[in-house]
Structure 1
Amino acid sequence: MAAAALESGFDAGTKFLKKLVRFIRGADTLSVAEKVYSIAAFLAIVTTFLLVMSVQSVRLQTTYRHLHASSAEAAIGVGRINALIYAVVMESRGIYMSADRNAAKQFADGLVRRNRELAEAAKSMEKHVGTNDAELFATFRQRIMQFIDFRQELVRRGLEISPAAAREWGDNDANRSLRNKLNGDLEALERIYRERASEADALANENRYAAAYLFALGLAALILAALNVVVMRNSVVGALADITQATDRIAQVDVKSEVPHLRRHDEIGRLARAVQNFRDAVARIFQLEELELGTAQARDAAMTERDKFNDKYQAKKWQLSAAINSMPQGLIMLDGKANVVAMNANYRKMYGLPETIQGGSSLQEILDHRVKSGLFSGDVAKYVAAVLDRIAKRQPTAYEIALNDGRVIKIYERPMDGGGWVSVQEDITEQRQRERMHERMERLLAIVVENVAEGIIAKDARNLRYLFINKAAEKQIGMSRAEIVGKTARELFSKETADLIEKRDQQLLAQQQQLEPMIDTVNNPIRGRRKVSWRRLQIGGAGEDSHIFVTMVEDLGTEMGAAA
């Protein structure tokens, strides 16, 4: 049987090849299906080769991009680490050469910051580590950590002991040896990344050959596509166009026109004969269509009007649904009997309502569900009766309710035109929590400011009038808060003291803050000449209503009594 099947298949193939040769010579021996399948087979073969080469080209390109990108990013990382090591060394030298610990602090801060950047740079290089540099990078990472730990200890000694102690710790052979090893590691890593770049260049050369193959296969596919166009146009599309024109004539009630290609024996011929049968059928029913034309026109007009009305209804319904569902608050509409007309998704989410509760459900069903879910503990019947009473009175109202889960809901109720009720509900739990927290913070701040031993004075930066002083400042100045607030320094102090205060105000505007203590002697009209220490800062900026100066005052004299 296998031999018979093989022989049968061979005969069919031979027969098809003979028909194909006759077709190429100009005889119309192939059916439409055979023409389409033949071209599709050739296209499938070329496309398969094209797909294989495309996959190979993509693989080469992906590998090339990965190697190129990883080698480039790794090389940049090596350069960055090298620069950071140099920056750390420079900051260390700044600590060595500082006269005291205060002078060394700015270099210590810079060194700590560079240490963090160095650790981050080393960590970011880990994603580019491959099999050929894993062991080297592990050693390099360990030395980076040793370098960072060593410099952290140097900062600690420089700040807690002295710059000399930091120099003694950092300027030694062990430190230089570690740096030399790090330089060696960086050079070795650079060599590895250069080798990766060379591998990427080799892959780029291979990809050129793949591109050439792709071009050749694409050209072959283009030729087959052009051949397909020519064959389909001459054997199929042209004939179909002729039959289509005949069909158009029949559609225009030209039932006497001739149908072309009736003598062909392929699918086109069968289609032409089917069109001829259709033409004959159209001719037979033409008279019946004329009789029914009036009725059909009336029916079509009615259906069109119905469709327009339905479209308008659906559009309005969609617009209403989109509007209420886009609201950030929950919304529910009730009719005069407290049945649900509409509700949005936020209302459903607010109370966890199931999909079974839809338009047409009652308010009592919603409350029963809230009772089951623990969000309502009152009397359902009384609540529904109260809502019905408000609907009947048509009086808008607003109130808040606290749910059993701790949420606070603000409810606004309004009557609707034509009867019914609309309720907009908003979850204001976070708002109430923020208000309570803000009140607690204001009370806490007032208590702290009023009870600190240091005098605190606030002044409007726009007109230099005093806004606030605490109890300690009242005691230092020797005046009450009511006597000071709303006045300027020139209205309270002597010209010498007022000039000094205005000079300090201008300095504060230029410096933003003066947290280092300043020692001045002022002439207090109540306490006399006093030596005071003050620290100052400004809040806000020019053009802002909240632009103020804050002064923290300490009386250094033997008696209290100075202000700024």
Structure 2
Amino acid sequence: MDAAASQSGLEAVIRLLKKFVRFARGADTLSVAEKVYSIAGCLAIVTTFLLVMSVQTVRLQTTYRHMYATSAEAAISIGRINALIYAIVMESRGIYMSGDRSTMKPFAEGLERRNRELADAVKGLERTAGDDDADQLASFRERIAQFIEFRQELVRRGLEIGPAAAREWGDNDANRTLRSKLNVDLETLERIYRQRAQEADELADTNRYAAAYLFMLGLAALYLAGLNVVVMRSSVVGALAEITRATDRIADGDVKSEVPHLGRHDEIGHLARAVQHFRDAVARIFELEELELDTAQARDAAMTERDKFNDKYQAKKWQLSAAINSMPQGLIMLDGKATVVAMNANYRRIYNLPETIQAGSTLEEILQHRVKSGLFSGDVAKYVGAVLDRIAKREPTAYEIALNDGRIIKIYERPMDGGGWVSVQEDVTDQRQRERILERMERFLATIIENVAEGIIAKDARNLRYVFVNRAAEKMIGMSRGEIIGKTARELFSADAAALIEKRDQQLLAQKQQLEPIVDTIDNPARGRRVISARRVQIGGAGEESHMFVTMVEDRTEQMVAAA
């Protein structure tokens, strides 16, 4: 009985293995239950290994962190102790080299402070040291105590007796012997903690291998979990959802939709084939009605699409016309043969075009009208040829023309997609006149400012950098404007003079204007001590780019000398 049961179980296992082999080769031989149970078993095995490796990794990580932290803290403490010993020795040399007690006192205070820091550093090293280091630290602590006591006595002798007594106490073989032993102790401790750091690194390597194993097991678990989700989704949940959607489409009259999963050999495949039979039956019933309905829908859809296209065309045409006519500049669009595609009202106004010239007219007709109205006196054929050449080359350009009535027109030309050309034209007559007036005014003001006797200095109120000095100011300061402009008072004058100038700037900022002269004495780096009289005004206000301080300066040094 038992032998027959064993034989039957063995045969079942062999059949299952054969199914897995055929499934691995691409055949859909496994049922949904077999797929899910197989994945769950593998996932349980991987999870067990993952748990064991996690415990081992945590143990190794804890040991590594402790060893690394203690060795690192000890190494830092040893380095600090070594630096403090060196600093104390340097302070001691300062005491030796001092000529009197007042000179020696800062070194003595620094040495006492370093002694306290050294004692604290040794205590910190003892806190991080282990039981294995107790004997070595005990001797090291005794030498440190001797070193500190010796230096304290050195300070006492230096302050109470004198630098010579301190030098006699500190410059001897006992002191040098103690220093040598301390160096040996530090080197020994450094070797101990370097060895401990190497042991921590070896443990870190072992931990990295464990982490790698843990990572691979985690990936395997994640893969199996994802595989389980994929199998459940594709084999059961997703398949049933797709078949349900197919059934809903058929119930809504969509008898041409495909039924998924017809090729499967499990229960899902049987269900899909049953749905397909249902679809075929419904299709045969509604075939003629569906054909008639499709014809009517196609006709209605075509008419609707035609109406939508016509509405969109009219809307776009209106929007384009409104946009073109609302432009403040004149605009004309030409095709590749210089025929007008569109123009706006401002273009008509610039050249006083009649209503007979519309879209479809040629550029030559526009130029002929300009000739008749006296706005063009060039060669029409040559001008049109030049425009056609630019259209062919598709090279954008910008230029200005002067009409016979005195107006100046700024023209921007750009190529359009499809071989056309667009020209934007603007009447800039008023702008050019204002620019000429402004230019004359600037030259007039510059001439006046450069020839007044007073020095005029302008400074940017935001960063207090000089932006202008006239000829008289250059002479008073004794520097060229190239040396002055772009710099602050602190970059040009002494600290006292710069502070006084900045004080006057703050007074000006508070008072808005200083029209009454203020007499100050300034140390000029180029001309020496000068007596100046200054009046100041503000231009603009805070937050404005034009916010400036303007100072009018008069050099009264010679007058003051003559009066004295």
- Decide: shared fold, TM above 0.5: no
- The TM-score, its normalising length taken from structure 1, stands at 0.43
- The TM-score, its normalising length taken from structure 2, stands at 0.43
